[in-house]
Amino acid sequence: MIFFLTKGLLRDKYRSLFPLIVVTAGVALIVLLQAWIDGATGNMIENTARFKTGHVRVTTQASAKQSRHIPIDLSLTEVEHWLSILRDRHSSLYWKARTRFGGILDFPDEKGETSAQGPVVGLAVDLLSSDGMERNNLNLKNALIDGRLPRNPGEILVSDLFFKKLNLRLGQSATLISTDMEGGMAVHNFTVVGSINFGIQALDRGAILTDLTDVQQALNMIDASSEILGYFKGGFYQKDDALHIAKTFNLQFQNFEDLFSPVMKTMREQDELGKMYDLYESMTFLVIAAFVFIMAIVLWNTGLMSGMRRYGELGVRMALGESQGRIYRSLLAESLIIGVAGSFLGTLLALIPAYYLQVYGIDVSQMIQSNQGVLLSNVMRAQVTPLSFFIGFIPGVFATFLGALISGFGIYKRQTAELFKELET
């Protein structure tokens, strides 16, 4: 009987083609949207974690309260001690100290006179150690545009935009003018060995990258850093684990009386990333729910039209002795076939542009004016994940089934006593 019904489905385009087009289009849109939202969210979170928040972040309590202002004077002291504790107790994460700082970078000419100067935002990380973790974490190999990565103390990387704007050259001396941890003036000389482009507008405007030890010396921060970041070794943020680790750490070491005591925050707790992430998740859910609703209404309508077209057929089947329940079940089975086929086609159709958007992306750098909280890439990309392969099947099959479920109720309203009349008109 299933073969018989399938043959009918294939031959009757009104019964199969129109619902199939609706399901395919709906599913394709959902899959594409999910891949896009996933890509944009994932990219934003990954960037923010890599450059700013870590998966968890330890700072002083005072610094945590003013995290947007790079308060170098509120940095964490006894960093090696804290690193040792963290590595010992939470070995599921890599722990690295970093310092973010601000200042002016001055480029003198041969005579020692300023030839170029500009404000910079600096990031000091462990660039020189043999583990290469930070180099990998910041993807420096790919970000390097010109020159080489620092190999010796005193060497820095400058953002490519800044490099070109100030017409700099490799090997040029640069003087950082900033404030040290005690609030005094700090002046330190560096050598520019390379230019980098992270593809993130917020970083590429005027960033410099130095080794942590250099900045500790330059800004009088011996055994101090503005933060210690932790990254899960698996590479992925684990919400519950991060929360548990932060809670355990804070219970033991956070001292509300001492503003310089350490506090650990998870990625979600920083810069309202959690809210933003939840918002994206809600958006995805809402989009899917809206599509299911709209598709169910369209398919319900299609089911009603199909029911009217097939009024005679269903009547004949009842006259032949097929029970109303069995006819209803067969309509649901047909809807399942349409739902599965439409979901398959829609998914396939969406994965092609989604993959294209994953590889090439869309350049949105012109639209990004300034962004303090999250780090958005210049090129937004979709992300094809395992979820992309089956997320469309949920609304695709469900909406089709729901549409048939509602429209099929009409079968039970039909009076067999009217069959002769109905089938003779």
Query: Are 97 and 230 spatial neighbours (Cβ–Cβ below 8 Å)?
Result: no
Q: How far is the CB of 233 from other proteins (least distance, A)?
A: 59
The tokens describing 347, both together, are 């998914």
In the region spanning residues 219 to 278, those forming contacts with other proteins, defined by CB under 8 A, are: none
| CA–CA distance, 247 with 256 (Å, rounded to integer) | 14
Which lies closer to other proteins via its Cβ, residue 254 or residue 324? 324
- Per CB under 8 A, 313 contacts other proteins: yes
> How many of the chain's residues bind other proteins (CB under 8 A)?
26
Backbone CA torsion sign across 321, 324, 326, 329: positive
Q: How far is the CB of 13 from other proteins (least distance, A)?
A: 10
- From 152, 248, 323, 371, residue interacting with other proteins (rule: CB under 8 A): 323
Q: Name the packing angle between helices 239-253 and 79-89 (round to 10°).
A: 130
**Which of these ranges, 70-78, 124-132, 249-257, 414-422, lies near other proteins under the rule CB under 8 A?**
414-422
Is residue 99 classed as helix, strand or coil in its secondary structure? strand
Which lies closer to other proteins via its Cβ, residue 11 or residue 111? 11
Which lies closer to other proteins via its Cβ, residue 151 or residue 309? 309
- Per CB under 8 A, 320 contacts other proteins: yes
Is residue 366 classed as helix, strand or coil in its secondary structure? coil
- From 321, 366, 369, 370, residue interacting with other proteins (rule: CB under 8 A): 321
- Tell me how long the chain is: 425
Which lies closer to other proteins via its Cβ, residue 234 or residue 312? 312
CB atoms within 10 A of CB 10: 12
Q: How far is the CB of 405 from other proteins (least distance, A)?
A: 21
Which lies closer to other proteins via its Cβ, residue 81 or residue 329? 329
Which lies closer to other proteins via its Cβ, residue 171 or residue 325? 325
| CA–CA distance, 23 with 39 (Å, rounded to integer) | 24
Query: Are 117 and 162 spatial neighbours (Cβ–Cβ below 8 Å)?
Result: no
Quickly tell me which residue has 């308060």 as its tokens.
Answer: 71
- Per CB under 8 A, 416 contacts other proteins: yes
Which lies closer to other proteins via its Cβ, residue 362 or residue 423? 423
In the region spanning residues 325 to 344, those forming contacts with other proteins, defined by CB under 8 A, are: 325
| CA–CA distance, 10 with 12 (Å, rounded to integer) | 6
Q: How far is the CB of 3 from other proteins (least distance, A)?
A: 9
Query: Are 224 and 77 spatial neighbours (Cβ–Cβ below 8 Å)?
Result: yes
CA distances from residue 92 to 96, 137, 273 in whole angstroms, order as listed:
13, 16, 22
| CA–CA distance, 363 with 158 (Å, rounded to integer) | 23
- From 18, 62, 322, 385, residue interacting with other proteins (rule: CB under 8 A): 322
Q: How far is the CB of 14 from other proteins (least distance, A)?
A: 10
Q: How far is the CB of 341 from other proteins (least distance, A)?
A: 18
CB atoms within 10 A of CB 266: 25
Which lies closer to other proteins via its Cβ, residue 164 or residue 421? 421
In the region spanning residues 273 to 312, those forming contacts with other proteins, defined by CB under 8 A, are: 312
CB atoms within 10 A of CB 353: 15
- Per CB under 8 A, 1 contacts other proteins: yes
Q: Is 115 exposed, middle or buried (0-12, 13-18, 19+ CB in 10 A)?
A: middle
- Per CB under 8 A, 17 contacts other proteins: no
- Per CB under 8 A, 316 contacts other proteins: yes
- From 6, 12, 179, 260, residue interacting with other proteins (rule: CB under 8 A): 12
- From 116, 336, 379, 419, residue interacting with other proteins (rule: CB under 8 A): 419
Q: How far is the CB of 311 from other proteins (least distance, A)?
A: 11
| CA–CA distance, 249 with 76 (Å, rounded to integer) | 15
Instruction: Name the DSSP class of 377.
Output: B
In the region spanning residues 55 to 94, those forming contacts with other proteins, defined by CB under 8 A, are: none
- From 369, 372, 413, 417, residue interacting with other proteins (rule: CB under 8 A): 417
Q: How far is the CB of 323 from other proteins (least distance, A)?
A: 4
Phi and psi angles of residue 225, each rounded to the nearest 5 degrees, phi first? -155, 160
Which lies closer to other proteins via its Cβ, residue 372 or residue 425? 425
- Region class of 112: left (phi > 0), else alpha (psi between -120 and 50), else beta: left
CA nearest neighbour of 396 among 296, 301, 298, 305: 296
- Per CB under 8 A, 185 contacts other proteins: no
Q: List interacting residues with other proteins (CB under 8 A).
A: 1, 4, 7-8, 11-12, 312-313, 315-325, 416-417, 419-421, 423-424
